[in-house]
Amino acid sequence: MDWQTPEDTVPSAFITEANARSLLGKPPASGAWREGDPAGSRQFVSVGRTSLERGGELPTVRIAFETMGTLNPTASNAILVAHALTGDSHVAGLPGPGHATAGWWNGLVGPGKAIDTARWFVVAPNMLGGCQGTTGPASYAPDGAEWGKRFPFITIRDQVDAQLALADALGIGRWAAVIGGSMGGMQSLEWAASYPERVERVAVLAAPAQSSADQIALNSVQLEAVRMDPAFGEGDYYDAADGDGPHRGLALARRMALLNYRSSSELNDRFERSAQSELSPLGEGGRYAVESYLDFHGNKFTRRFDANSYLTLLEAMNSHDVGRGRGGTAAALAAVTMPALILAIDSDRLFPVSDQQHIAAHAPGNLDGDRPHLIGSLFGHDGFLIENGLVGAQIERLLAT
């Protein structure tokens, strides 16, 4: 659900909680993009009043998105790229004003790359409930205050419906492809099942047909970690004095999540049982290098994400079930008749290969018959964001159909 960030290249001896805080200073109460912040490469579209699957509505929804390439006169070359849980619309490009990090799929999206923007018009929206410009808990409600805990429950289908409204606003009647991994893969699968007439091809990367009890359980402890932070204040922390937001709870949730995003073999090979520093040996107040690695990522995360948004999106993931109201997952997957890339990662312990095997066995359009395309990676679930060569070759195969 995450991407390889510049922190991954920092020598482990540097990554201590004290060094990270000293380098970065105290984080804000929320890492959300806020009104008045630099827009960067973002564009914005208001899609108006939006009804929600579980009842209720949002009186107005604004979607932040980025585009690369040129839409052709027939609007037939548009590709929707859906991001993962902690991603955003900055699919490709440099860091800069408005963008704390470089594009999360720089290796795959751009001129001459697997998703070649000399040929394709790429649209990458920030998902509904997110915190980087699209309407979410950190956005202002009609009363002028942040939605916060008042933000309604949303599902993956609600997020897809918001993307559908964006497509209509852009004049795109049919996507040449919808591509997504992890939470974005849930959305691409919902696109194929809900609006098959609007999708020419689909890629579902490292995602399930429904969230399992095990996956919901993993999310539940992250939800509780955020809510137990005294600074969370039932979700009303945006005006906290001195920016005292729920940093500790959000960072802890992030550290928990990272244990599922990477494989055990990668962590073992990368860190072994090494101490953080020769100056602080283990047993003398020192720490293991892997502990400091998790701390650094957790603390970094609080600077670019919002705690309420994290809760909203985790609960949307928990709601994921492509078979809900459709007679079960097998019946729903029968609608996936367009060319479909179902990609699995052999070391994925968040959404294991069996999840993709189920999709592949029931999706008639699967490029690989009744099985997913399996890639080998040491990086676990994050392999779909890191293994550019392996993943890119398969996306090229899909786009060539």
Q: Is the pLDDT of residue 148 over 50?
A: yes
For residue 104, how many other CB atoms are within 10 A of its CB? 25
Q: The pTM is what?
A: 0.91
Q: Which residue type is seen at 18?
A: A
pLDDT range class, residue 293, cuts 50, 70, 90? confident
- Residue scoring higher pLDDT (7 or 326): 326
Give yes or no: 348 in active site.
yes
Q: Is the pLDDT of residue 281 over 80?
A: no
30, 89, 182, 188: the active-site residue:
182
Q: What is the pLDDT, as a whole number, of residue 241?
A: 61
pLDDT digits (tens, 9 = 90+) for 297-332: 888 999 999 999 999 999 999 999 999 999 999 999
CB 115 within 8 A of CB 395: yes
pLDDT digits (tens, 9 = 90+) for 328-386: 999 999 999 999 999 999 999 999 999 999 999 999 999 999 999 999 999 999 999 99
For residue 57, how many other CB atoms are within 10 A of its CB? 11
pLDDT digits (tens, 9 = 90+) for 14-58: 333 333 443 457 788 999 999 999 999 999 999 999 999 999 999
Q: Which residue type is seen at 173?
A: G
The CATH code for residues 6-399 is: 3.40.50.1820
Q: Is the pLDDT of residue 282 over 90?
A: no
pLDDT digits (tens, 9 = 90+) for 62-108: 999 999 999 999 999 999 999 999 999 999 999 999 999 999 999 99
Q: Per residue, what are the HEC states of the chain?
A: CCCCCHHHHCCCCCCCHHHHHHHHCCCCCCCCCCCCCCCCCCEEEEEEEEECCCCCEEEEEEEEEEEECCCCCCCCCEEEEECCCCCCCCCCCCCECCECCCCCCCCCEECCCCEECCCCEEEEECCCCCCCCCCCCCCECCCCCECHHHCCCCCHHHHHHHHHHHHHHHCCCCECEEEEECHHHHHHHHHHHHCHHHECCEEEECCCCECCHHHHHHHHHHHHHHHCCHHHHHHCCCCCHHHCCCHHHHHHHHHHHHHHHCCHHHHHHHHCCCECCCCCCCCCCCCEHHHHHHHHHHHHHCCCCCHHHHHHHHHHHHCCECCCCCCCHHHHHCCCCCCEEEEEECCCCCCCHHHHHHHHHHCCCECCCCCCEEECCCCHHHHHHHCHHHHHHHHHHHHCC
Q: What is the pLDDT, as a whole number, of residue 177?
A: 99
Residue with tokens 């922190």: 7
Contacts 24+ apart (CB under 8 A), 36-39: 37/98, 38/97, 38/98, 39/98, 39/133
* Tokens linked to 234: 């039932």
89, 355, 381, 382: the active-site residue:
381
229, 348, 355, 382: the active-site residue:
348
Phi, psi (degrees; rounded to nearest 5) at 230: -55, -30
What are the domain boundaries of the chain?
A: 6-399
* Tokens linked to 249: 């709870």
* Tokens linked to 40: 């960067």
pLDDT digits (tens, 9 = 90+) for 212-244: 999 999 999 999 999 999 999 999 999 876 678
Give yes or no: 182 in active site.
yes
Cα 173 to Cα 151: distance, rounded to the nearest angstrom: 30
Give yes or no: 381 in active site.
yes
CA–CA distance from 90 to each of 39, 106, 171 (Å)? 11, 9, 22
